[in-house]
Structure 1
Amino acid sequence: MKRTLLALLLLLPTILFGQINTERVMIKGRSALYFEEYILAIQYFNQVINAKPYLHLPYFFRSLAKLELDDFTGVEEDSNQLLAINPFFVAGYQVRGLARIQQNKYKEAIEDYKEALKYEPENVPVLNNLSLSYIYSEDYDQANATLDELSRVAPKYTAAYLMKGDVALRQKDTLQAIANIDKALSIDKYDSNIWGARGQLNLMQQNYAQAEKDLDEATHLGGHEASHYINRALARFHQNNLRGAMSDYDLALDIDPRNFFGHYNRGLLRARVGDTNRAIEDFDFVLSVNPDDMMATFNRGLLRTRSGDFSGANSDFTRVLDVYPNFYAGYLYRMEVRKMLGDNIGAQQDELMLLQMQIDKSRGVQQDKGEETRKRSDKNVENYRKLVVADKDDISRNYTNELRGKIQNKTVQVKAEPYFILTYYADVSEVRNVIHYHKFITDLNARQVLPELLLITNQEKPLNQTEVNKLFKLIDEESGEIDKNPNDVIPRFTRGLNFFLVQSTDDALEDFSRAIELDNTFYPAYFMRSVAKIKQLDYQKSEEKLTNELSNSSVVDYEVVMNDLKRVIQLAPDFVYAYYNRARLHFDLKDFPAAIADYTEAIKLYPEFAEAYFNRGIIHIFLGNNKEGIADLSKAGELGIANSYSIIKRFRKTE
């Protein structure tokens, strides 16, 4: 439930502060928050709070940033402050309630939501999360009463029926649970989450064939949700379709590379089909995240035995037996491994322990009951061969917060690769680590006129505290250099870049424009001015609640961006990232033919340009040209963009 109220609540009106500098800092903080730079956002809100501690909104927005960083105690403290200043601010109760739910403080969360309803009795998110709090506190009568009110206020709000189904299931009323999910489907048959919930319910009822059909619909409509593939893998497993199950775990891990269930269960299935080395890799990952997972440790020991790594297997088995000293299979397999290592004394000791355990059967651990799956919390080591499933069977847990994610992503399930920028910091992908290159940028780095190496990337990295502090220091240093050499383009461009990275977009635009005045052939300034303007417009659109139409001023602004990118292409016709960004802007403006033309040109210049293939493929899919789209996505996947494959799988059936 981490994706929270952020997107909607960022649309709250900006209030006027007494001093223009305070207002600008507040805007910078909200911009950083919108672009998910949470640590940076907190720094800006700190400045406003220090200057004007009597304002409630800085506390509120800082609490949102802390919520995204899982600092739930900090959220409560900020919410307490803002509600002391303004006890009528409903969003403050909402955010504090969310933080309390995350800490299992359901009684306190209920009080927050009830207080909020005094001021806004038909607030859908508040009713939603009040219902959730009642469910988690097992007060099912109040949950049903609140959900009935939610359905009255918002008759087409499908999440209410999913939660009603969840309550029915907890009360062992399967027929009512099915009826509620079917009601949700009658309202919106294109919601992947509803199909996923029905598939999950059928899984729980062991209706595996029907579960797979439901989850087929869920993955087709919502190919970006790893949970749908995880659940369909279980449905396929129970129908002895091991290859299909492993394929689904592959797709789930393409979407969520750190998914525990994907790695653990895929490791078990790979072991079953003899894919030993890759099974070991899966359990290596599980143990890198949780070194104390003894069942994963034991499974890895078995696989190491199979691969001939007897020393590693012995180490794994010994770790398990230290925790489970009565584990019969542990001694049995370790005895064999010790024999292979020539440790006859150790093997004899294990053999004696096995004989003793056969005599004294009462010392044994509870035996396996024969089910094919186990709950994640199950610590019975005898169940090491079983696939693992989530502890809770609630069917609403993924669908109870309709405000997660950015506004522009709520109706777009297939997201294009983002714009390219120049920066010092880039996020490192676990799957691909491509170094984007252009000779001019390389030469600029070689001259060592910039404080850090300049990178070309479309994977912006959220800044940590050290990086934030460093950038603010660099801004001060560059300001001093500009005072000394006002006609030097480099310090002006560098300060603009630093302002851009700390979300001070207006200042960045001013510096980039001044750099262009100083040297109208310095194309990086045009390029970064275009990116900064796009970012500014993106934030402004969220503030103005624009969805389908652009204001006249925005149209003019986008023309300015286009002109800057056109100038970059004139100055550096081999700089493929200008073609890519112009195509990406055409994409956003829904000028698909122009976008395809620019992506095609970028690919001509750089035939291994994965992001261009990916975005061109998405456009073809949007236009109904599935054959061309799948071909482009296949190439993007080959070049390392893993999400390509889940999209291909989703749309291949309509090819």
Structure 2
Amino acid sequence: MMRRLLIAFLCCLPGWVGAQINTDRVMAIARNALFFEDYVLSIQYFNQVISAKPYLYEPYFYRGIAKINLEDFQGAEADCTKAIERNPFVPGCYQIRGYARIRQHKVDGAIEDYKKALEYDPENSGLWNNLALCRIENKDYEGAKKDIDRLIALAPRESNAFLMRADVAMRQKDTLAAEKDIDKAIEVDAYNSTVWTARAVLRLQQAKYKEAEGDLDQAIHLAVKNADNYINRALARYHQNNLRGAMDDYDVALQIDPNNFIGHYNRGLLRAYVGDDNRAIEDFNFVIEQEPDNMMAIFNRGLLLDKTGDLRGAIKDYSTVIDEYPNFLTGYYYRAAARRKIGDRRGAEADELVLLRNQLDRYNGVKQQTAADHKTRKKSDRNMENYGKIVVADSDEDAPHYKNEYRGRVQDKNVRIAYQPMYALTYYEKPGNVRRTIHYYRYIDELNRDTLFAKPLLITNNEAPLTEQQVNEHFKWIDDHTASTASDNKTDAKLRFLRGLDFYLVQDFENAISDYTAAIVADDSFMPAYFDRALARYKQLEYQKAESQMDKNAGNVLPSGAPVVVKNADYELVKNDLDQVIKLAPDFAYAYYNRANLFAMLGDYHAAIVDYNKVLELDADFADAYYNRGLTYIYLGNNQQGIADLSKAGELGLFSAYNVIKRFTVHE
């Protein structure tokens, strides 16, 4: 049904001849959808191209990328294999298939893919990165070091490459080489929190706890929402006998990651050490709820119940542990004492008899299990004598390993400080944000009462991709709006706008712009058509600009096409539309905001600030405008004013502003 609907409406569009679909046109729309992360929609378009021309490699390749992002790794591998069968000379096909194989734990197959891709593209740093990580996975450390050396030669400012080589050195027990590489990573990129975390982990292993705490201070300063950094700093503070500081860190870690096992277990121990018994019980209750067979947590809870007077609850916990570990003498000792307190003399004497027999065994030279001397234990440790020790994360080897990521989700954007996006009039908004603001404008509210509008228009800069059901619905609405007849120009303008919005939502910007233009011709005072046409034109230009640089941005994994040169003058039409919106609706803050974003993107920061000022004059609580104006001030060198604006944005609920503030106030 979906295929018939798509063909039906596409055949009516410019550039379609008869029943033969224009695959170049559909392919362009599909890549639009892929670029703007509308993966379900893009797959449906790629299906159409494959159905019409199954001998082309590109739709299989791009459909594989979409499936990667939807975590359908088996399907992505199959699509890339089909692409390779049709054209075996495109390195990107091997790279994407290699990544899909990694995610299915087919490391050997991934290695072969990366080696093949490097035959065609030996300067691709992403390929060397993934090949080295695959070799590490296979414990081929010498091979991994050679690959990383090549990666560093290609990208000498890539801090993660040095961390990767440090990881290999630690696996080979070469601490000095690892430390040297981590120091180099810090020298290359001191604003990357990961490099400070890596050195802190190494210093924890070396028992340099004060130095580790200093490195973790810096890592937390740069990445305030990373729970692991607080967990590690708590460990460093614990080893320096700063129990209160350690508990503070566990508190913050658990605010960020409420289900963190180590955080709850260790905070429970520390609370017990300082006499905060009831709250310690709460922590161990959480651990036991998550891991009902965690005997050390059960025993610690038993000790705390004993101290707080719940003797029967304590005896129950002691008995649970003794049933699992019948040679755990400490359990018998505490259970005997608890049984005597409640008057269970027979039970107490039975436990004491076990202890007496053990004492006789010791006299006779029977070796007993004892706890190690150090203050921590691994999470997987099952020696009950270690029940009172702080837990540290497990590792397959004694050396600390550093997190390295395979590069394969080529649609992912580089982590960077960026402006909050432009606003749109649309139907869908992503749910689940901490900051949930309802954007209102009286004229849009009046439009939503019009019976022509089947869904209410939303003003949002957090657009949601369509589900398959929504895709089908909008294809149907395109047909419905096409078949509708208008009795007057104003009605026709609304119908054209609605069909333009349908085209926009299915990422067909060319037809969306055409319909928005038709709406304006029918009623040149219809402000929403200008507003959404500006956004459609902007997105179309941004996609064209990105496509011309796609090889570079995606690690040369995408097939090259004819370059599209986008000049600043091309954005003049976007500005003209926003100018017209402001003329028609001078109190519509979102038009000033979008125009300010356009100015900022073009590098005209002073004009951008003028428009952001106007936005905040109209709406003093516009968090995105504070955020973007703050970045603009910083780009102009006015950090003090920029940080003040970012602070206001954070106060209004745009919490990512605090991370940016820390980035620009980092301690040297």
Which TM-score band applies after superposition, normalised by the shorter structure?
0.7 to 0.9
Q: Find the residue that maps to 2:484 and give its secondary structure.
A: helix
Distance 1:551 1:480 in 2: 36
How far does residue 426 in structure 1 lie from its aligned partner after superposition?
Answer: 0.9
Match of 2:365 in 1: none
Match of 2:573 in 1: 560
Q: Find the residue that maps to 1:180 and give its secondary structure.
A: helix
1:535 counterpart = 2:536: no
Confirm or deny: 8 A CA contact 2:377 2:389 kept in the other structure.
no
> Would the alpha carbon gap of residues 99 and 390 (structure 1) be closer, same or farther in structure 2, given more than 3 Å must change?
farther
How far does residue 493 in structure 1 lie from its aligned partner after superposition?
Answer: 1.0
Match of 2:588 in 1: 575
Q: Find the residue that maps to 1:456 and give its secondary structure.
A: strand
Q: Find the residue that maps to 1:416 and give its secondary structure.
A: coil
Match of 1:161 in 2: 162
- Residue 646 of structure 1 is aligned with which of 659, 662, 665? 659
Larger CA deviation: 446-455 vs 373-382 = 373-382
The residue identity in structure 2 corresponding to 1:182 is D
> Would the alpha carbon gap of residues 553 and 174 (structure 1) be closer, same or farther in structure 2, given more than 3 Å must change?
closer
Confirm or deny: 8 A CA contact 1:32 1:40 kept in the other structure.
yes
Q: Taking structure 1 as the reference length, what is the TM-score of the superposition?
A: 0.77
Match of 1:443 in 2: 446
The residue identity in structure 2 corresponding to 1:493 is F
Aligned pairs for 1:73-88 within 5 A? 73-88=74-89
How far does residue 429 in structure 1 lie from its aligned partner after superposition?
Answer: 3.3
Distance 1:57 1:386 in 2: 54
The residue identity in structure 2 corresponding to 1:114 is K
Match of 1:67 in 2: 68
> Would the alpha carbon gap of residues 554 and 223 (structure 1) be closer, same or farther in structure 2, given more than 3 Å must change?
farther
How far does residue 138 in structure 1 lie from its aligned partner after superposition?
Answer: 1.0
Match of 2:618 in 1: 605
> Would the alpha carbon gap of residues 595 and 115 (structure 1) be closer, same or farther in structure 2, given more than 3 Å must change?
same
Confirm or deny: 8 A CA contact 2:262 2:391 kept in the other structure.
no
**Residue by residue, what CA displacement relative to the aligned partner does 1:47-95 show, whole Å, maximum 9, x if unpaired?**
2112211111111111111112221111211122111222222211111
Distance 1:149 1:293 in 2: 48
How far does residue 174 in structure 1 lie from its aligned partner after superposition?
Answer: 0.9
Q: Find the residue that maps to 2:101 and give its secondary structure.
A: helix
How far does residue 169 in structure 1 lie from its aligned partner after superposition?
Answer: 0.5
Q: Find the residue that maps to 1:99 and give its secondary structure.
A: helix
The residue identity in structure 2 corresponding to 1:540 is Q
% of aligned pairs identical?
45
Confirm or deny: 8 A CA contact 1:198 1:214 kept in the other structure.
yes
Q: Find the residue that maps to 1:488 and give its secondary structure.
A: helix
Aligned pairs for 1:207-222 within 5 A? 207-218=208-219
Aligned pairs for 1:122-271 within 5 A? 122-151=123-152, 157-185=158-186, 192-218=193-219, 235=236, 238-239=239-240, 260=260
Distance 2:488 2:373 in 1: 78
Distance 2:168 2:420 in 1: 39
Q: Find the residue that maps to 2:620 and give its secondary structure.
A: coil
Distance 2:277 2:599 in 1: 45
Distance 2:572 2:394 in 1: 51
> Would the alpha carbon gap of residues 187 and 650 (structure 1) be closer, same or farther in structure 2, given more than 3 Å must change?
closer
**Unaligned residue ranges in structure 2 (runs of 5+):** 1-18, 336-341, 362-368, 554-562
Match of 1:458 in 2: 461
Match of 1:489 in 2: 493
Distance 2:460 2:539 in 1: 15
Match of 1:521 in 2: 525
1:434 counterpart = 2:437: yes
Confirm or deny: 8 A CA contact 1:298 1:384 kept in the other structure.
no
Distance 1:379 1:453 in 2: 59
Confirm or deny: 8 A CA contact 2:419 2:628 kept in the other structure.
yes
> Would the alpha carbon gap of residues 448 and 143 (structure 1) be closer, same or farther in structure 2, given more than 3 Å must change?
same
1:472 counterpart = 2:444: no
**Unaligned residue ranges in structure 1 (runs of 5+):** 1-17, 335-343
How far does residue 479 in structure 1 lie from its aligned partner after superposition?
Answer: 2.2
**Residue by residue, what CA displacement relative to the aligned partner does 1:261-292 show, whole Å, maximum 9, x if unpaired?**
797589769968979999979998x999x788
1:117 counterpart = 2:118: yes
Larger CA deviation: 379-388 vs 352-361 = 352-361
Q: Find the residue that maps to 1:422 and give its secondary structure.
A: strand
1:421 counterpart = 2:452: no
Distance 1:584 1:498 in 2: 25
Distance 2:217 2:652 in 1: 27
Distance 2:379 2:586 in 1: 55
How far does residue 389 in structure 1 lie from its aligned partner after superposition?
Answer: 3.7
> Would the alpha carbon gap of residues 570 and 121 (structure 1) be closer, same or farther in structure 2, given more than 3 Å must change?
closer
Q: Find the residue that maps to 2:139 and give its secondary structure.
A: coil
Confirm or deny: 8 A CA contact 2:162 2:181 kept in the other structure.
yes
> Would the alpha carbon gap of residues 129 and 281 (structure 1) be closer, same or farther in structure 2, given more than 3 Å must change?
same
The residue identity in structure 2 corresponding to 1:471 is H
Confirm or deny: 8 A CA contact 2:170 2:401 kept in the other structure.
no
> Would the alpha carbon gap of residues 279 and 654 (structure 1) be closer, same or farther in structure 2, given more than 3 Å must change?
farther
Larger CA deviation: 210-219 vs 175-184 = 210-219
Distance 1:148 1:170 in 2: 17
Distance 1:383 1:615 in 2: 51
**Residue by residue, what CA displacement relative to the aligned partner does 1:356-411 show, whole Å, maximum 9, x if unpaired?**
9989999xxx997686666666688976984664746887754454676768645x
Confirm or deny: 8 A CA contact 1:30 1:41 kept in the other structure.
yes
The residue identity in structure 1 corresponding to 2:524 is N
The higher radius of gyration belongs to: 2
Distance 2:283 2:524 in 1: 53
1:505 counterpart = 2:509: yes
Confirm or deny: 8 A CA contact 2:136 2:168 kept in the other structure.
yes
Q: Find the residue that maps to 2:567 and give its secondary structure.
A: helix
Distance 1:170 1:358 in 2: 44
